[in-house]
Structure 1
């Protein structure tokens, strides 16, 4: 995403004129002006006047639209949330086959307070917040019909097709899957390079979901083992201009992705069989919603993220019981004592060990297995020389002098 911002320095007239100059000026992008149209918020006469008088657009090239389309956040005047908001003006490029929005100029000029009417209060400082789709604009400039066919994505799509033993056909179902694999492996390569590893919480869970969605695509294309890790070198090669540092971690990133693929491939066939069984039972009983308990069992037993199961359900015109799933998760966390270990890390003997030993040496960038010395044992919130037995309820902490496990302080 590209953008420009202003906090009280300039407003609509400058943003619109400069945006138009950047898009159409020969020294900038040089897009043909007759291929561009705009939209404005229904009540934004000021923006419409600027497009008409400054840019000389005719009325048929200026479309007025409601708050769901031309207000940020969408629908804010009627639906909220309270806070800073404002109308926006979108710029569209028209091709022979349709049009694509390439730039959204947001005029954050109001503070929403409460429900309408008269709930939009002018801000003392008028602000600008714009967003231009980098890859959409690149597709327009390169004359291709898809973001995935630009010069930094098409080679990865082709590499994905080769890894999957296919010839890329944009219009086919496998073309759609190859594009998704491309998007997800690129995102995960960058994230893991920045030490965001697949996991079950926060950022790590996002990466895990992306990888498992792409693995499912690979399985549905006929693959039975890891394949995404083979695309990491291609991502690094294509992006080496602006991101040369990617080449330094290709091996480590590929290993992380391969491990996650191995984990999911080991359960995916059994999981898909279970999914088919759930869907068949639903059809037999005329149910249309995937039960939250079934979804939790899929997650806990087969590693199926609920979002992935929801996607599969939608392909069969089923809905998903998020309320039931969350209730099952909460019950599980209560039973398993979720959160105890996290609290233990905040203070007490572990904190004392950390200060005395200055932390454990992190090896994760070079290896995922290591030999280490036990330098501390903690049970019942006390340092121990040895532990005779475990009761299965209270957390036990084993402190090592070196480890390939990444610390929570890094966002994991």
Structure 2
């Protein structure tokens, strides 16, 4: 067997299939496109689903890839076993209706035995029970020993997932043991015991399973193979664990170095070392594909992995942030195959460090909550924390369950795990229910996505606002139809269109489709999965028919405004990089005729001074009247020329570059002005944070920016009129008035305190006694909360053993405060319970501790009635 590193195995595989006339595609992003069934790409074939379903035409009928994948279903086993990992690479060769078994099987055998030089007496093959065709090919087209082929049932060697394309598969296995396996039963046992390792699965998609469970033959069967790169590396490198494979071991060594913990000296610490090693791979690749930590979706997966790794760092005694330091090793070992890692290295590190710091703050917040739970449990002599509370710590505060258990164990308290698991399952069910139903391949199986691939649609709207074409498809109510009548709505596809379909943040055009017999309003324009341009229309007059010759005319006024905003987003991107630094990358945008919205990577709010610099840079370039030009060139040539590309987009061989002179250069398919001067004016209206490390700017251009400035000017004049001063004097006038108001507020507070103090003697003159506990109650007017609390405290101290319950009302609401001495509490007084009951009377609610509580009410007129109820409550509280 050849001695190869993980990166060499990948290279050998892709080169082999390149020689077999396969197109080698780079790995797709971990973020699925048009696939609502997946949170993250979890298999090599996942991003190729549209080619298997026929919704898109593949770039070539033979394709091979090495695909980045994330799976978190077995996350609890990561680090505990030799094989489980959340990140892995899947090698695969695919045929979309081209070659089939007679090519796929011999090629697989050739690669394994001739290229990798696996000893044949260490290999076994399994096939589906009834797949005689595969058996014959193995026997006749390879030199495998027939006694090394075993037939297994559906559970092992048949790939299907509900309805739709499916088929048998054949798997190649490596035997790590000694002696020959002589039967299928013996083989299954050896496989269960991990003596035999399956490393390559060849799926023969030859059937279409219908709703009646009939397996109908596909006219064009497909090949879908998958080989785990890490697993293959363990075999070739003769190691027992993926964590001992060369590239992964390098990461583990770095974790050991930082933590000062040697590998294979302590089982518990080894688990932590492996978890950190695996998770940092996932984290690095996820962020490189544009994901950010958040509390939902794939962002939640990222946050969970990152915090889980950080938690295990703490278990190893690592203080402070450290994960970002390990990222270097991940990148150094993988960037040649995944160049985006190197390109975004600083960005990846900053996101990881920022999230680590936030997690430290979260741990502190979680500790405060947990300490409160512990205090409550100890008061009640309870030894079990409810699963609901443990789950709240986990879900709301990101507090790991194992950390909760560890801290509680010191206090001899346990977590109700069964209850916790039930809460976790409820959350999973909710998440599943929230995910839209899709077909087996995960694509939206709507009629729009089933428009025949042979129907071509061409966008010809960069320089045209109007053109003539022919209607090729009409859809109404999920049915292909031949016409649409007046007032009906549907979808229309034409051979050619000037309408821009929503893409790259730019909204779709609106306008008209018409001829002498009808007129229809185009309310939106989008693309389906295969890239067909579809017009959403409402018929205003007459009747649309298939094959009608029509005129398509966009709303040119809206288009012009959109163009201004779109070009401005390009200029904004460049200006932000100039002012803030090269780490700035676009992470999203939205452009319509009213305004533009631009999301970008940055780690703190942009200051007013920085925003003003950005604005000035853009307006200076607007006033330079720079020509905006577009060019078509090879993607590599475009990127080498310095053109910026979106974070995780894949581009065709030929791309369109939009250049605003020498100032800005980006890959973009959108519509743009011809000269920067057409933008007129650029004005930022807001800057906010939308996620960890992501900021958002909203801005206006042209007439909308001018209107915004005019509104500000009118507002300023109104303020001047109100303050009776000039524009230059506004700020000093406002500061002066604010100072006066603060002084008056202080005077009012002093007067209120005096008024409250004057009530002290009156209240003390009416002390009552109930079951040996003194009680003072009263209703005051217009006393603020602070003064009411101070007065209550003074009276409580003067009566020494007792309860004080006071109310303060004004026209809008009523406030209640209750305070009790320690002796009163010992006798059964509980301020929280008193307040809760009396607040109900006044339409409010609240509570608090036994010795102090407060609440509010909506009905001040019921304050006296509420206070009068205190005696009754005291009657059953006091022992």
Shift of 1:70: 1.7
1:371 aligned to 595, 607, 618, which one?
Answer: 607
> Within 5 A, what are the aligned runs for 1:5-20?
5-20=94-109
Q: Which has the larger radius of gyration?
A: 2
Distance 1:326 1:184, change over 3 A: closer
2:129 aligned to 42, 48, 55, which one?
Answer: 42
1:228 corresponds to 2:228: no
> Within 5 A, what are the aligned runs for 1:161-176?
161-169=256-264, 172-176=267-271
Distance 2:129 2:271 in 1: 36
Distance 1:346 1:60 in 2: 62
Shift of 1:329: 9.0
Shift of 1:236: 2.1
1:134-157 CA distance string (max 9 Å, x none): 121122222222222122111110
Alignment match, 2:395: 299
Distance 1:236 1:328, change over 3 A: closer
1:148-173 CA distance string (max 9 Å, x none): 21221111101011112201118723
1:62 corresponds to 2:158: no
Distance 1:315 1:228 in 2: 32
> Within 5 A, what are the aligned runs for 1:212-361?
212-244=307-339, 246-268=341-363, 271=366, 290-291=387-388, 295-296=391-392, 298-300=394-396, 302-304=397-399, 319-322=421-424, 324-325=426-427, 355=565, 358-359=568-569, 361=573
Distance 1:271 1:59, change over 3 A: farther
Q: Is the 8 A contact 2:390 2:415 kept in 1?
A: no
> Within 5 A, what are the aligned runs for 1:124-139?
124-139=219-234
1:52-78 CA distance string (max 9 Å, x none): 3433544542222222222223xx4xx
1:400 corresponds to 2:687: yes
2:196 aligned to 83, 99, 104, which one?
Answer: 99
Q: Is the 8 A contact 1:88 1:105 kept in 2?
A: yes
Secondary structure at the counterpart of residue 128 of structure 1: strand
Alignment match, 2:623: none
CA RMSD of aligned residues (A): 4.3
Q: Is the 8 A contact 1:296 1:325 kept in 2?
A: no
Distance 1:298 1:316, change over 3 A: closer
Aligned residues: 353
1:29 corresponds to 2:116: yes
Distance 2:199 2:336 in 1: 24
Shift of 1:201: 3.4
Distance 2:96 2:154 in 1: 23
Shift of 1:405: 2.3
Q: Is the 8 A contact 2:92 2:225 kept in 1?
A: yes
Distance 2:128 2:337 in 1: 37
Q: Is the 8 A contact 2:384 2:416 kept in 1?
A: no
2:209 aligned to 112, 128, 137, which one?
Answer: 112
Structure 2: where are the runs of 5+ without partners? 1-89, 178-193, 405-413, 433-505, 509-560, 585-601, 615-683, 698-879
Distance 2:174 2:145 in 1: 16
Q: Is the 8 A contact 2:126 2:149 kept in 1?
A: yes
Shift of 1:132: 1.0
Q: Which has the higher helix share?
A: 1
Distance 1:266 1:400 in 2: 25
Distance 1:172 1:71 in 2: 38
Alignment match, 1:337: none
1:111-154 CA distance string (max 9 Å, x none): 111244xx211111111000111121122222222222122111
Distance 1:107 1:15 in 2: 9
Shift of 1:398: 6.6
Distance 2:359 2:688 in 1: 31
Alignment match, 1:336: none
Distance 2:136 2:147 in 1: 14
Q: Is the 8 A contact 2:387 2:416 kept in 1?
A: no
1:2 corresponds to 2:91: yes
Distance 1:133 1:185 in 2: 19
Higher relative contact order (CA 8 A, sep 6+): 1
Secondary structure at the counterpart of residue 154 of structure 2: coil
Distance 1:327 1:5 in 2: 34
1:84 corresponds to 2:165: yes
Distance 2:260 2:287 in 1: 26
Q: Which has the higher strand share?
A: 2
> Within 5 A, what are the aligned runs for 1:183-222?
183-222=278-317
Distance 1:45 1:306, change over 3 A: farther
Q: Is the 8 A contact 2:126 2:152 kept in 1?
A: yes
1:324-351 CA distance string (max 9 Å, x none): 4369999xxxxxxxxxxxxxx999xxx9
Give TM-score scaled by structure 1 length. 0.71
Give TM-score scaled by structure 2 length. 0.36
Shift of 1:102: 1.1
Distance 1:355 1:241, change over 3 A: closer
